[in-house]
Structure 1
Amino acid sequence: MARSLLRDEAYRAIRDAIVDGTLAPGERLLDTELIDWLGVSRTPIREALARLEQAGLVRSKPGRYTIVAPLDVRATREAQSVAAALHELAVRESAAALTDVELSLMRAANQRLADALRAEDVDGALTADDEFHAVPVIAAANETLRSMLDQVTPLLRRVERVRFSSLAGRGSVAQHARIIELCASGDVEGAAAATRHNWETLEPLLAAHEDGEDAAMS
């Protein structure tokens, strides 16, 4: 397999294990264990870890350790702000030109989200949410926007997982339906604002985590 493919597979596997808690905050990431687990050589492992560190999911001190980074509320809040603005921009650039096929894809993804939430399938909910938001992002055909989303989205995964593990996540289905309705009616500004609001619903979860940390320290 191409080295880039191995690196990407290693990145996704380690990222998902961090997001779902299999790899806990503060846990040491040893090359030998990751090599045995993923069945790839050290080079794609190190490249994947470097990418995860850039995304804020891993911390390292050269020659000493590499660990799973604790949730950094400030950094995650910054990433959320950027992601909300980028998704708002994607909808603003694409909403007026979305085809019936693309709108149908968004409706189908939102239905899968609803089904996953009813089944308490958090992974399925995350996938469906990604598929919903990917439609306007792809339709916007803005490579810089997509690249920037790739940088900030990984840091939001832990909080998104908490959202879709609780009743709070069910509000996303109605919010998505509203975005589709506004896009279909040609209300570009309304759809863009509704998209920003959808991403800003992560804020209460960040505030709750922050309050929990403060309580633990007092």
Structure 2
Amino acid sequence: MKDEAYQTLRRWIIAGELAPGTKLRDQDLSVTLGISRTPIREALLMLENDGLVETKANRWTLVSSIDLNKAEETYAIVSTLECLAMELAFTSFSDNDIRELENLNENLNVSMQNGDRKSALEIDYAFHGTIIRMSRNEELQKLLVSLKLKIRRIESHYFSQKEFLQPSYAEHNQIINSIRNKDLQKAKESLKANWKNTLDRLREKQI
């Protein structure tokens, strides 16, 4: 029950259904989720460890605010680690793997055209997740899962369809073409540019 509560609350926070600053009362959540208060409290502790909630002992628990300054630090780390994943994965990419990336990117485009922002974001994460999975490095994957929780929340909160996802479609195509052409340096440059451009779009949202 603890894990189910954790997964549900984490999903709501990342999607923005629980907005920054929202008070989280274990009694209310117990009623909403239909489980006892003990697993709710345990789930909230796990979310606090993720940096998604803040707690003042015996006073309140809130959904954490989004710190845009820390976001820049997180993007820099994720970009570097994904480039490492690309290096580790590069010789393993098969024609089927490339087709998988192409299909994901085309599905991203379809979701954008249909105005399905939530689906498009999920597909974008799946695209990058495929590269990470291909690295076959479990420790690297664990690090990126933790860091990307924060990024997913930021992007869900700040980016609209046009501002974020449409440029990513073209940037993903550059990554795919570099992999197909067996050009590791270009693939890493394209991947790094995708993250840099995403961060630039985030900065524009702050102006």
Report whether the alignment pairs 1:91 with 2:86: yes
> What SS is found at the alignment partner of 2:132?
helix
Question: 1:164, CA displacement in angstroms?
Answer: 4.8
Question: 1:90, CA displacement in angstroms?
Answer: 0.8
Closer, same or farther: CA 40–188 of 1 in aligned 2, 3 Å? farther
Question: 1:121, CA displacement in angstroms?
Answer: 1.0
Report the counterpart of residue 192 of structure 2 in structure 1: 196
Equivalent residues of 1:85, 1:196 under 8 A apart: yes
Report the counterpart of residue 9 of structure 1 in structure 2: 4
Equivalent residues of 1:26, 1:69 under 8 A apart: yes
Supply the distance in 2 between the matched residues of 1:121 and 1:108 (Cα, whole angstroms).
Answer: 17
Supply the distance in 1 between the matched residues of 2:160 and 2:181 (Cα, whole angstroms).
Answer: 28
Letter in 2 for 1:175: E
Report the counterpart of residue 175 of structure 1 in structure 2: 171
Supply the distance in 1 between the matched residues of 2:162 and 2:15 (Cα, whole angstroms).
Answer: 14
Letter in 1 for 2:130: V
> What SS is found at the alignment partner of 1:56?
coil
> What SS is found at the alignment partner of 2:35?
coil
Q: 2:181 aligns with which of 182, 185, 201?
A: 185
> What SS is found at the alignment partner of 1:25?
coil
Question: 1:65, CA displacement in angstroms?
Answer: 1.0
Supply the distance in 1 between the matched residues of 2:8 and 2:94 (Cα, whole angstroms).
Answer: 34
Provide Cα deviations, 1:141-165, integer angstroms capped at 9, x if missing partner: 1111111112111111133223353
Q: Give the 5 Å matches for 1:50-65.
A: 50-65=45-60
Equivalent residues of 2:86, 2:132 under 8 A apart: yes
Report the counterpart of residue 203 of structure 2 in structure 1: 207
Closer, same or farther: CA 159–205 of 1 in aligned 2, 3 Å? farther
Question: 1:16, CA displacement in angstroms?
Answer: 2.5
Question: 1:62, CA displacement in angstroms?
Answer: 2.0
Q: 2:162 aligns with which of 138, 144, 166?
A: 166
Report the counterpart of residue 3 of structure 1 in structure 2: none
Report the counterpart of residue 108 of structure 1 in structure 2: 103
- Count how many residue pairs are aligned between Structure 1 and Structure 2: 206
Closer, same or farther: CA 122–149 of 1 in aligned 2, 3 Å? same
Identity between Structure 1 and Structure 2 (%): 32
Question: 1:79, CA displacement in angstroms?
Answer: 1.3
Provide Cα deviations, 1:64-117, integer angstroms capped at 9, x if missing partner: 111011111122221111111111111121122201111111111111111111
What are the ranges of 5 or more consecutive residues in structure 1 without an aligned counterpart? Answer: 1-5, 212-218
Supply the distance in 2 between the matched residues of 1:83 and 1:21 (Cα, whole angstroms).
Answer: 22
Q: 1:130 aligns with which of 110, 125, 132?
A: 125
Report the counterpart of residue 18 of structure 1 in structure 2: 13
Supply the distance in 1 between the matched residues of 2:204 and 2:59 (Cα, whole angstroms).
Answer: 33
Provide Cα deviations, 1:189-217, integer angstroms capped at 9, x if missing partner: 21112112112223234424544xxxxxx
Report the counterpart of residue 71 of structure 1 in structure 2: 66
What are the ranges of 5 or more consecutive residues in structure 2 without an aligned counterpart? Answer: none
Supply the distance in 2 between the matched residues of 1:129 and 1:164 (Cα, whole angstroms).
Answer: 14
